[in-house]
């Protein structure tokens, strides 16, 4: 890794645009600025080391190359949109991590400083099987601010880069690997193509409480600053502050704003102001690379080091909200100041401030906690309100029963209806409650509190949720078959099976169409019953499990991600995060909303409890 980042790029003169080029470009001094060897390997003329293609300016298009790996630890890949000053976009492979989550890596590089510790997860890293001791074909497609990577001529991308962090632009193309047999390149080609088509990227999500507005100083050598003493108490040269804003995720990548001046570790000061209406103790969760000191109103509260391999041989130092400190805020303005030092792998930080309620549960100002029920519930999965009895029914996926609760959270009867096979979705239709179990749709007589009928679901893999349609029919999702079933006249049949509904989960009939949560692509979608056309209403992206969904009287929706997020989605498409339990590791399953009481009731599945919140309607 150090060899990948530490070697500078020769970038000579101005680039010129050339016509589309998709022939093999030989590794000769006429074609390349060579910083490596050209050798014969596995029957191909190949490059070991690093090279920059001469006299080209690449913006959108396709870059292809074959790569061969010995299997040892190395980092070989493609540099593109190279600009003067050792700044470029970078995709590379880790062949020694074949099959692991970070076998493939994207990072932006500013002034020679890579940021792989800052960019990890969906859109930056991906798992892939990387063959050793044979040629692996790598195809990189680039358009605007997006890119994708295909391995071994597969039809499906191995990595989708949702956002190239340096934005759209032009620049050179290069290859970078170690100067030995661990990684080699052959059969390089490229072509410009402005007509590549990409799906829209998932919208960036800013979690409630992220601190976004900062001031950054110039860099200081770590030898000239005491990182345990506030800068006002040190004899430092004049500090020059620059206003910057964090990314949508809250991440502040320092490298685009402050360039390191040497190869030794350097430190930057970052400050912001927290305005408090009174004396309060608030929790600050944060992540950083590589070292940090946290000061509040001149006093140090935290000193930490998350440098690569600092804590154990496998420690990577990936930036996330992994550390925390409690801030004793004074009434009025409080200065939060960070000293952030860079050693290797990325220079940045992110911070998130309370308020906190319960176990790190985040609530929007329009929502407040009402009650919690946890009386021996067994993985509560779905909640359904019955206005006739003014009661709630809750399915228990971890057992064989449905529970009955009142609207204050008291469990009236824990085993109200029994004999079901891991029940999930619930829906009320007339005098019957319908429940989804592993192979059947089950009808429950509410007055008798017992199962009266089972309707087999043909070809069921994992039937999940159920919703009542406009004419009394029922719809059932199958999260493993990519199918929606319809129940009417005593029969369940496949109503829609389509790749446009990958892993369907949460369902809602909103009066004119069926709303479907598709966990395969992290979306909520609307299906028109007339022609079964599908439109996207909300896109959270890969990893989101689209579960609960409810309609509000103002035309907006409540839409939930099982991982711990519930949003209010306006008719305009704007989304407002109402609830976040991700820090508490508390999942949010198929919730119910009772409009007349503005009560949001949320089963937590493996949290073994039901939470209720009051939602203030506008």
Other Cβ atoms closer than 10 A to 512: 10
* pLDDT tens digits for range 5-17: 334 554 443 343 3
Q: Is the pLDDT of residue 244 over 50?
A: yes
Contact 588, 578 (CB under 8 A): no
Domains of the chain: 2-192 (2.60.120.560), 213-353 (2.60.120.260), 362-615 (2.120.10.30)
**Mean pLDDT across 411-429:** 96
Express each pLDDT in 205-232 by its tens digit: 777 789 999 999 999 999 999 999 999 9
Q: What percent of the chain stands above pLDDT 70?
A: 95
**Is residue 113 pLDDT above 70, yes or no?**
yes
Instruction: Please write the tens of the pLDDT for every residue from 362-373.
Output: 788 888 889 999
Q: Has residue 18 got a pLDDT over 60? A: no
pLDDT band at 310 (very low <50, low <70, confident <90, very high): confident
User: What pLDDT is stored for residue 250 in this prediction?
Assistant: 93
For residue 260, the model assigns a pLDDT of 85
- For residue 365, what are the contacts with CB-CB under 8 A and spacing of at least 6? none
Tell me the residue length of the chain: 618
Q: Which distant-in-sequence residues (6+ apart) come within 8 Å of 58 by Cβ? A: 80, 81, 142, 170, 171, 172, 173, 190, 192
Tokens at residue 252, please? 């502040």
Instruction: Give the pLDDT confidence score for residue 202 in this predicted structure.
Output: 80
Give φ, ψ of 68 to 5 degrees. -125, 135
Tell me the pLDDT tens digit for each residue of 436-484.
Answer: 999 999 999 999 999 999 999 999 999 999 999 999 999 999 999 999 9
> For residue 202, what is the DSSP state?
P
177 three-class SS:
coil
DSSP bridge partners of 107: 90
Q: Give residue 19's pLDDT.
A: 39
Question: Which distant-in-sequence residues (6+ apart) come within 8 Å of 291 by Cβ?
Answer: 227, 265, 267, 304, 305, 306, 307, 339, 340, 341, 343
355 preceded by a cis bond (ω within 30 of 0)? yes
Using the predicted structure, report yes or no on whether residue 391 has a pLDDT greater than 50. Answer: yes
Res. 21 pLDDT band, cuts 50 70 90: low
230/539 Cα distance (integer angstroms)? 43
**pLDDT band at residue 382, thresholds of 50, 70 and 90?**
very high
The answer, yes or no, to whether residue 159 has pLDDT greater than 90, is: yes
* pLDDT higher than threshold 80 for residue 356: no
**Whether pLDDT at 111 is above 90:** yes
Single out the residue of 4, 24, 136 nearest to residue 69, CA to CA. Answer: 136
Tell whether the model's pLDDT for residue 160 goes beyond 60: yes
pLDDT band at 69 (very low <50, low <70, confident <90, very high): very high
579-608 pLDDT, tens digit each? 988 877 889 999 999 998 999 999 999 989
What is the maximal distance between C-alpha atoms in the chain?
86
Q: pTM score, two decimals?
A: 0.66
d(CA 426, CA 384): 6
Strand order in 546-551's β-sheet?
362-363, 575-580, 565-569, 557-561, 546-551
- For the segment 20-32, the average pLDDT, to the nearest whole number, is 87
- What is the band of 360 on the pLDDT scale with cuts at 50, 70, 90? low
Gap between the Cα atoms of 359 and 349, Å rounded: 24
Alpha-carbon torsion 600, 601, 603, 607, what sign? positive
Of 4-13, 87-96, 161-170, 501-510, the one with minimum mean pLDDT is: 4-13
């Amino acid at each position: 890794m150090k060899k990948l980042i530490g070697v500078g790029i020769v970038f000579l003169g101005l680039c010129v645009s050339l016509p589309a080029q998709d022939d093999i470009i030989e590794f000769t001094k006429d074609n390349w600025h060579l910083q490596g060897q050209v050798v014969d390997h596995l029957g191909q003329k190949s490059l070991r080391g690093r090279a920059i293609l001469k006299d080209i300016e690449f913006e959108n298009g396709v870059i292809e190359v074959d790569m061969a790996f010995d299997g040892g630890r190395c980092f070989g890949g493609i540099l593109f949109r190279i600009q003067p000053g050792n700044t470029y976009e970078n995709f590379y492979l880790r062949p020694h991590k074949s099959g692991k989550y970070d076998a493939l890596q994207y990072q932006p590089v500013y002034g020679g400083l890579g940021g792989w510790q800052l960019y990890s997860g969906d859109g930056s890293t991906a798992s892939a099987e990387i063959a050793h001791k044979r040629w692996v074909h790598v195809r990189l497609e680039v358009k605007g601010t997006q890119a994708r990577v295909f391995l071994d001529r597969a039809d499906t991308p191995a990595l989708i880069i949702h956002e190239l962090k340096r934005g759209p632009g032009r620049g050179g193309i290069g290859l970078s690997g170690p100067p030995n047999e661990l990684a080699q390149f052959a059969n390089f080609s490229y072509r410009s193509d402005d007509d590549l088509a990409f799906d829209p990227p998932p919208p960036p999500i800013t979690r409630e409480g992220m601190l976004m507005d900062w001031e950054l100083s110039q860099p200081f050598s770590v030898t000239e600053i005491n990182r345990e003493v506030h800068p006002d108490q040190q004899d430092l040269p004049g500090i020059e502050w620059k206003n910057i804003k964090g990314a949508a995720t809250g991440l502040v990548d320092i490298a685009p704003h402050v360039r390191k001046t040497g190869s030794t570790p350097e430190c930057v000061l970052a400050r912001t102001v927290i305005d408090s209406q009174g004396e309060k103790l608030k929790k600050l969760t944060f992540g950083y690379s590589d070292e940090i000191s946290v000061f509040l109103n001149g006093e140090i509260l935290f000193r930490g080091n998350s440098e690569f391999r600092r804590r154990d041989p496998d420690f990577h130092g990936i930036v996330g909200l992994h550390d925390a400190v409690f801030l004793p805020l004074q009434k009025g303005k409080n200065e939060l100041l960070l000293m952030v030092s860079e050693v290797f792998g990325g220079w940045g930080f992110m911070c998130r401030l309370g308020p906190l309620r319960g176990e790190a549960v985040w609530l929007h100002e329009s929502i407040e906690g009402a009650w919690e029920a946890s009386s021996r519930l067994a993985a509560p999965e779905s909640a359904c309100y019955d206005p006739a009895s003014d009661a709630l029914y809750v399915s228990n996926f971890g057992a064989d029963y449905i529970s009955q609760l009142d609207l204050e959270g008291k469990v009236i009867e824990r085993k109200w209806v029994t004999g079901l096979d891991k029940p999930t979705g619930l829906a009320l239709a007339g005098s019957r409650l319908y429940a989804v179990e592993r192979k059947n749709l089950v009808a429950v007589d509410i007055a008798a509190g017992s199962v009266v009928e089972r309707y087999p679901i043909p070809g069921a893999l994992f039937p999940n949720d159920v919703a009542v349609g406009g004419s009394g029919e029922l719809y059932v999702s199958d999260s493993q078959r990519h199918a929606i079933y319809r129940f009417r006249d005593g029969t369940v049949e496949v109503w829609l099976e389509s790749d446009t509904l990958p892993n369907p989960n949460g369902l809602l009939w909103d009066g004119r169409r069926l709303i479907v949560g598709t966990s395969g692509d992290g979306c909520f979608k609307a299906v028109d019953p007339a022609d079964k056309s599908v439109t996207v209403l909300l896109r959270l992206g890969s990893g989101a499990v689209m579960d609960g969904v409810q309609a509000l009287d103002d035309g907006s929706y409540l839409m939930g991600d099982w991982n711990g997020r519930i949003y209010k989605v306006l008719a305009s498409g704007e989304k407002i995060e109402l609830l976040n339990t991700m820090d508490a590791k508390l999942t949010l399953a198929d919730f119910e909303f009772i409009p007349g009481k503005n009560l949001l009731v949320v089963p937590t599945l493996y949290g073994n409890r039901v939470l209720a919140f009051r939602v203030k309607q506008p």
